[in-house]
Amino acid sequence: MGETGHQEVPSDLTLRVKSLESLLVEKGLVDRAALDALIDTMEHKVGPRNGARVVARAWIDPAYKKRLLENAPAAIAELGYTSGQGEHMLVVENGPKVHNLVVCTLCSCYPWPVLGLPPVWYKSAPYRSRAVIDPRGILREFGTQLTEDVEVRVWDSTAELRYIVLPERPAGTQTMTEEQLAALVTRDAMVGVAKVRVPPSGGNQ
Amino acid sequence: MNGVHDMGGQQDMGPVVYEKDEPVFHASWEARIYALNRAMRALRKWSLDTDRHALELMSPVDYLRMSYYERWLYRLEAQVVQYGLVSREEFESGQPAPGSTKEGPQLTLATSDRWLDRGIASSDDPRVRPSFKVSQRVRARNINPTGHTRLPRYARGKTGVIVRDHGVYLFPDSNAHFQGEKRQHVYSVRFAARELWGASASPRDSMHLDLWDDYLERA
């Protein structure tokens, strides 16, 4: 049961989509060039790299971090990121005793401008069902162990607010540049299923 | 409606399957149906709320069996006929009827920036008064509407605290059904994990849900 990753695609789906697209284009309801542009945006212009830049900036610039926590859409737009599904974003901050986790139990709500489209696991039944009843179990499945004294806050995106986790800056990164820091920040850390780590071989050498 | 889409709290869905270096789309048809859905919604024959509800109306077996974008294809095929954009005959033949009118694309390359940025409706309209305030204790109503709702079953009848007033938004329960926008305040409500799940939950943990005024009552 459930969506266990991606099955091999029946060619039937390819044909059905082609047929529907041709008909809607022929009817003058959609414009192929606009579809191409939209796909290009989602594949190449938005994605977790945007969010990583926001996080890195917040780590090095306390004034920016303050603006980000108070008015995330405006602070994120300062870096040039605006587009659909990001009009009402909120940033929730992790700390030594607080860990935030984002889910959409009802569908697939996700902050597109900073993280792009969600991965399959985020939209899948296993994650959507258990993130609220067993967040610590979900975190363990992602390799994130929390001690009992850490408070877990789960954010279920039931309305039009979109949540991004501001992860903790890892120790030993004091001398890193903003760009080096951004390279450490993962999508998973901004959804809250992981922490940001300095890779043992890489980092600030 | 109490459908299979309302998954919070289910325990029988198996482990989370993680794909390393996952692509944005797994096949070209996924990208095409994603873009088609967004373009067709820009025609404004239906809203985002209507779109969400259309997936909820799928049979639970189909909902669980189909991949995410297969659901989107299934939905759009039904919508173009249901909303009269395409006739049943045209859909089945794949050909426009001779002499059928061309509406002209709402969404062209020249305007795509604008419709991509088109916002989710909300406002800080001061005429819409909030029924609750921050720090107030509230109970999520025990309601079981048969139409669209964004109040998950796991929170119904449970007591929490308002931690933030997000401002005014359209009410999905009416908007999804073309029954008006019913603009009202949405709040972030914090529920203790133990209130939702009982004594086995951590005493420190909490779940935050964004809930409309009409979902709440004084506790």
Predicted confidence (pLDDT) per residue in A11-41, tens digit: 799 999 999 999 999 998 999 999 999 999 9
Q: What residue ranges do the domains of chain A occupy?
A: 11-43, 47-191
Q: Give B-chain residues touching A37 at CB under 8 angstroms.
A: 109, 112
pLDDT at A199: 83
pLDDT at B115: 61
Do residues B120 and A45 make contact, with C-beta atoms less than 8 angstroms apart?
A: no
Residue B48 lies in a domain: yes
Region A118-135 average pLDDT: 98
Q: Where would I find the H helices in chain B?
A: 28-41, 48-56, 60-65, 68-82, 88-93, 112-116, 172-175, 193-197
**According to the CATH classification, is domain A47-191 in 3.90.1170.40?**
no
Region A122-148 average pLDDT: 97
CATH no. for residue B38?
A: 1.10.472.20
In degrees, to the nearest 5, what angle opens at C-alpha A142 toward C-alphas B153 and A45? Answer: 85
CA–CA dist B153, B163 (Å, integer) = 21
pLDDT at A179: 97
Residues 6+ apart with CB under 8 A from B113: none
Band (A203; pLDDT cuts 50, 70, 90) = very low
pLDDT at B122: 67
Give strand ranges (E) for chain B.
Answer: 122-123, 137-140, 159-169, 184-192, 206-212, 216-218
Is a pLDDT exceeding 90 seen at residue A82? no
Instruction: Give the residue numbers of A marked as catalytic.
Output: 104, 107-109
Band (A78; pLDDT cuts 50, 70, 90) = very high
- Nearest CA to B25 out of A185, A178, A47, A93 is that of A47
CA–CA dist B153, B30 (Å, integer) = 31
- Whole domain around residue B66: which residue ranges? 28-116
pLDDT at A86: 60
Residues B150 and B94 in one domain: no
Predicted confidence (pLDDT) per residue in A154-189, tens digit: 999 999 999 999 999 999 999 999 999 999 999 999
ipTM for this model: 0.95
Band (A103; pLDDT cuts 50, 70, 90) = very high
Predicted confidence (pLDDT) per residue in B62-109, tens digit: 999 999 999 999 999 999 999 999 999 999 999 999 877 676 776 777
A126 closest CB neighbour out of B16, B109, B120:
B16
Q: How far is CA B110 from CA A28, A34, A35, B39, B104, in A?
A: 15, 8, 12, 13, 14
pLDDT at A76: 94
Residue B5 lies in a domain: no
**Can you give the pTM of this predicted structure?**
0.94
Residues B109 and B143 in one domain: no
Interface of A with B in 141-170 (CB under 8 A): 141-142, 148-161
CB-based contact, A70 to chain B, within 8 Å = no
Q: Which candidate in B205, B214, B215 is best for mutational testing of the A interface (most A CBs within 10 A)?
A: B205
- Nearest CA to A24 out of B45, B115, B103 is that of B103
Under DSSP, is residue A77 helix (H, G, I), strand (E, B) or coil? helix
Beta strands A151-156 and A98-103 are: parallel
A126 closest CB neighbour out of B13, B34, B43:
B13
Low-confidence ranges of chain B (pLDDT < 50): none
Domain end residue (candidates: B59, B88, B116):
B116
Look up residue B204 and give its amino acid: R
Q: How far is CA A194 from CA A100, A125, A144, A157, B201, in A?
A: 10, 19, 6, 19, 21
Do residues A3 and B68 make contact, with C-beta atoms less than 8 angstroms apart?
A: yes
